[in-house]
Every structure is written in structure tokens, then in C-alpha cells.
Amino acid sequence: MTDDVSRNERIKEASDYLRGTLAEGLREEVTGAIVEDDQQLVKFHGMYLQDDRDLRPERSRKKMEKAFAFMIRVRVPGGVLTPAQWLALDEVARDYGNGTMKLTTRQTVQLHGIIKSNLKATMKKIDAAVLDSIAACGDVNRNVMCNPNPHLSRAHAETLAMARKISDDLLPRTPAYREIWLDGEKIAGGEDEVVEPIYGKTYLPRKFKIVMAVPPSNDVDIFAHDLGFIAIVDEAGAVAGYNVTVGGGMGMTHGETDTYPRTAEVMGYCGPSDVLAVAEAVVTVQRDWGDRLNRKHARLKYTIEDRGLEAFKAEVEKRAGVLLQPAKPFAFTSTGDSYGWSAGDNGRSHLTLYVQNGRLFPPQMTALRKLAQEHDGDLRITPNQHLIVANIPAERQNAVHWAMKEAGLLAPWSGLRRNSMACVALPTCGLALAESERYLPDLITALDDKLAAYALLADDIVIRMTGCPNGCARPYLAEIGLVGKGPGRYNLYLGAAFDGSRLSKLYAEDLDHAGIVAALEPIFKAYAADRQKGERFGNFAIRAGFVAATGNGRDFHNNVRLAKVAAA
Ligand code: HEM
Ligand code: SF4
């Protein structure tokens, strides 16, 4: 491979299908880390090397190595776990992790704080629970998301089954995962087409994310993802086919206007039997057309901005051998979860819990462990970092309700808190510029004070925070988005649509806590006074002129009103 590719491309190429020197690195006892190239490769196995950033100053004073540990992200297509799988993850988190679990915005579980010497034991436990972490991170198709709401019954079941099929179809085939983590036998390399028929030796130019939505819920945030399928349900309640969306993505870099979040566009419609061929074709076109020189320009959203949707669609149709039909009508109402009880079949019910920022601390883990030990339904992680306990028989509903209430897992009153999400950020995420999940709850308390003054406390308003502009909690699709800029400083974005279909706009920069509250209070006041019937906060922010409503993709940064605010 020539010099004109990014460093990651060379690492992949030389890795012998994601092996690198990981096996040797795990045996190396003088450091808790692994070498740099392997740090890139280990992501494809579902792990990040991290260090506890809270401990950096002290360890540096003592001339000690950073407090290295790994984060493992499990792959859970559609977010559905059996009670036995839940118990296995809970045990791993307590025995080898930092004693907490993070339910993520992409329907998986992250376990933090696993030191190198415990990695293999952890991976074996995960394997024994019939779970894995392959392709949970890295330049491949990641966890496939799907509406986890069990009472959507038939359409839901069909869509979930399809999500699992897509997930299986696009899994890396390299035997490296079994070899390295599960002491599998070393299988000699072969030709690209044999080892990785879809990805080839260098996999994709960048991460790739697929979701499936069942309207009217857009809980998966379909427009934030590279590839999406919107189920179109027929009169009998079965899935007739899917609208196909392409080219969504969140990440950007502060100050670099050629990087931007983008909402996906609807490309057409296909029948259920064409879904796999279309998904594979989208992936391989991006494999071949995506930018391998500049990783900041390598997501599918940039390929589509540069080549145009029509050219991309034509190539996908050619490779899939499928002519996409015109998209069918659909309507989304919200990106949120419906908390509380809902009815299932045969007298059983489902309970959607509220897990603040997806973080389960020991008391909540204990309550859920007890629940899982007696539960014969399943546990479903929502795309909003929450958890549905599905199929609870009538005789257990009372006990479950009170146990969950006592553990603080029922939804709060505050409309802002009910609709909040935060990424991990400090202390584990090496990319964080500011706090996120450790700070957002306090900010909401302060904002709720102001909202209460305008009788808006119970109103559903979507707020999301991330510690950096990569956008792991999809802040650019929140009605109030806060993106870390530096320690204690955030950029404030406003104006996204409640149903997840429109990005927000930058409203103010570099705000500290007092600055955020001061910037939002007058907007809350105006909203309470001037909103039209049923008008959402994001829509109001635009109509009332707080932010401009221009465009998608590269137009994201084109906010005429910010200039006026700054000049005023
Ligand atoms: C350039 C872009 C991105 C980079 C480099 C990146 C990197 C990371 C890293 C290092 C973590 C681990 C943090 C920790 O657990 O300590 C993380 C977490 C996570 N990321 Fe990203 N990320 C990016 C964009 C995104 C986007 C756009 C999404 C979703 C649409 C996403 C979804 C997640 C999720 C679900 C987590 C787990 C924690 C949570 O639920 O917030 N990431 N990311
Ligand atoms: S948004 Fe940034 S700070 Fe937050 S988890 Fe993602 S990479 Fe880390």
C-alpha cells in the first residue's frame, strides 16, 4: 500500500486480519497497556484501551504509568438480553470491571476498568453467556439497533429478526477473535475473498452504523446513522417492506467546518427479501468509495455529500441487483422511550425503567440482579440508555414495581430529565474535553428550577450532552444540545426536531454552568409565553428566531443568527 493512505489503513493491512501483535501484547507483564498499532486493532474486537484520567496527576507525580484499563463493549443486536446473559454481564462488571455497567445510546452494554491481565477471563465469561464483542467498535458494521419495544408485537418481532440477520451477515469472519481471546486454534490466513468476503483486508474506511426503526417511534435515531431501515407495516400488522435511509452521522471537530453532523436521507424502498442484498451493497460501495486518506472525511455521510445521493443509489442498485422503489409514507413522533407499564400477551406486562445516563451503580445492579434471578422474560436495552423488563407475569408485577421504585429506576417527573442522555466522557474516555454523564444530572437540577418557574417542569424537552464533538450521545439531534469544548465549557446547540428529523444549530459558545443557565432561561420564558398549541421546544427556538433553520450536512455551520448574537 502506498504512502497516501491514513495510518490506520496501514495498520489494518499489516494486521493479518486484525491479529497484529495482540496475543503477544496480552502476555507482556511490564505494562498495563498494549502497543499503539494494537490499540487500533483491539477496537475491532470491541475494546478500547483507556486510563483513569482522574488519577493522571497523582500517578504522574509518583512517576507511575497511567492507570490503564480496558473498556469492553458487548454486541447486542436489538438490545435484547436473556436474564442469564444479564447476570453474566453483571458478574463480569463486579468481578473484573469497576462495579458499574453503562447501558449505551446504541443499545449495548459497556464495561469499564478491566485490567489487561483480566481481559481473557472476561472475554471467556462473555463467550460462555453466548455473547461477544466482535465489531462492537472499529472500522466495521457495529451493533445493529432496533426498536426494542415488545408490545409492537408482530412488526417488531419481524424487524428484530431482520436486525439480527443483518448483524450476522456483516460480522467480520476473521478467526482472530477466537484465537486471541478464546484460545481458539490458529487458522492460517487465506485469500481476501475467503477470509473476509465482504470487507477484504482493510475493512471499511471508518465505523459503520445500521439501525431499524418501527414508526411511529424513532427511538433508534435513524437519521443519525449510516444506514437505516424504516419498517412499513401492512394492514395485518406485518412488515411489508422497508424505506432505506443512508448518510447520517454525528461526529465533527470543533473549528473544522469541513466536518459536520448530517441527517440521513431516504433513498428508496425495498421488500424484506432484498434487505440483506441492499445492506451489503451499501457497505461495499462505501468500502470502495469511502475516503481512506483522511479519517475525518471517511464516513458514508461525506461519500454521499461528495458523490450525490443519485450516483450512490445507482451503484447500490447495480451491486445489489435490486431496483429500489419510491419511498413509502411514514411518520415519526418522537425519539424517546415510553416509561412505565405497558400490556403484553397472556396477562404479562412490560416495564420500561429509567436509568439516568445509562449508568447502573451497585444498588441498582443489585436490584436488577435479584430481578433477573427470578425473571423468565427478557431484558431489553433501549436506544436511550434505558432498560425494558419484558414479559413480567401478573403475579410478579407488584413486587417488581416496588423493587424498581426503591432502586430509583422509575422515571422522574422532570420532562427534561426524562428526555436526557449523556455520553461517558470523564474519567475514562480519552477524547473527552469536558465532563458529561457526571455533570448533566446537576445541570438538569439547575435548569429544572428555571423551568418550574415557567410551569414547564413536566414538558418533554430533549437534552443531550457529550464531552466532545464526536457526538456519542447524538447531541446535534437534541432540542438542547451541549457539546464539551474544554474543562467546564460547552457549546450550546438549539432547534433540533423532537422526532429526530432535523439537526440543531450552534447558538452560543464556550458557556460555563452559569452561562448555560443564563442562556436558556430567557428562551424558556419566551417558550412559556409565546408557544403555539403543541409546539415543541426545538421548533419554537427556530420560529422565535433564536437559531436559523438552514440546511443539513455542510450547511450545519451556516448559522446566520449566531453571527448576529455574537455581534450584538
Ligand atoms: C469520531 C467519532 C467518534 C469517536 C472517535 C468515538 C469514540 C468513543 C469512545 C472512545 C468511547 C468510549 C468512552 C468510554 O466508554 O469511556 C465512545 C463511547 C460511545 N460512543 Fe462513540 N465515538 C464517536 C462517535 C460516536 C457516535 C456518532 C455515536 C452514536 C451515534 C457513538 C456512540 C457511542 C456510544 C453508544 C458509546 C458508549 C457510551 C454512551 O452510551 O454514551 N459514538 N465513543
Ligand atoms: S462524545 Fe466524546 S467524550 Fe463523549 S464518549 Fe464520545 S468520544 Fe468520549
DSSP 246-283: E--B---BTTBTT---B--EEEEEE-GGGHHHHHHHHH
* 102-135 confidence digits (pLDDT tens): 999 999 999 999 999 999 999 999 999 999 999 9
C-alpha to C-alpha distance for 541 and 562, rounded to whole angstroms: 13
Catalytic positions are 73, 142, 207, 209, 423, 429, 468, 472
Residue 228 has pLDDT above 50, yes or no: yes
Max alpha carbon distance in the chain (Å)? Answer: 70
Grid look-up 476473521 returns 174
Grid look-up 477484504 returns 200
Q: Which helix (H) or strand (E) holds 465?
A: strand 463-466
pLDDT at site 551: 76
- Ligand 1 proximal residues by C-beta, below 6 Å: 48, 50, 71, 102, 104-106, 110, 224, 250-251, 358, 385, 423-424, 428-429, 431, 470-474
440 lines ligand 2 (CB under 6 A): no
C-alpha to C-alpha distance for 509 and 446, rounded to whole angstroms: 19
Antiparallel, parallel or unpaired: β 68-73 and 101-103: unpaired
pLDDT tier, 321 (very low <50, low <70, confident <90, very high otherwise): very high
pLDDT tier, 549 (very low <50, low <70, confident <90, very high otherwise): confident
User: Which cell numbers hold the place of 101?
Assistant: 455497567
Grid look-up 413486587 returns 399
C-alpha to C-alpha distance for 152 and 213, rounded to whole angstroms: 11
- The predicted model scores a pTM of 0.96
468 lines ligand 2 (CB under 6 A): yes
Instruction: Write out the DSSP string of 349-413.
Output: EEEEE--GGGEEPHHHHHHHHHHHHH--SEEEE-TTS-EEEEEE-GGGHHHHHHHHHHTT-SPPS
Over residues 18-43, mean pLDDT: 97
Residue 186 has pLDDT above 70, yes or no: no
pLDDT at site 149: 81
pLDDT at site 339: 97
C-alpha to C-alpha distance for 165 and 152, rounded to whole angstroms: 19
| Other CB atoms within 10 A of residue 149 CB | 20
* Average per-residue pLDDT for the chain: 95
User: Which cell numbers hold the place of 425?
Assistant: 466522557
For the chain, percent of residues with pLDDT exceeding 70: 96
pLDDT at site 161: 96
Greater pLDDT, 565 or 377: 377
436 lines ligand 2 (CB under 6 A): yes
Strand order in the sheet with 463-466: 420-422, 463-466, 480-486, 489-494, 505-511
* 439-494 confidence digits (pLDDT tens): 999 999 999 999 999 999 999 999 999 999 999 999 999 999 999 999 999 999 99
Strand order in the sheet with 227-233: 145-146, 210-213, 227-233, 239-246, 265-270
Q: CB–CB of 539/551 below 8 Å?
A: no
Grid look-up 417488581 returns 400
Q: How many angstroms is it from 432 CA to the middle of ligand 1?
A: 10
Q: Which helix (H) or strand (E) holds 507?
A: strand 505-511
pLDDT at site 185: 66
pLDDT at site 568: 42
Q: Strand ranges (DSSP E) for 281-347?
A: 340-343
Atom of ligand 2 nearest to the CA of 471: 1
User: Which cell numbers hold the place of 541?
Assistant: 427556538
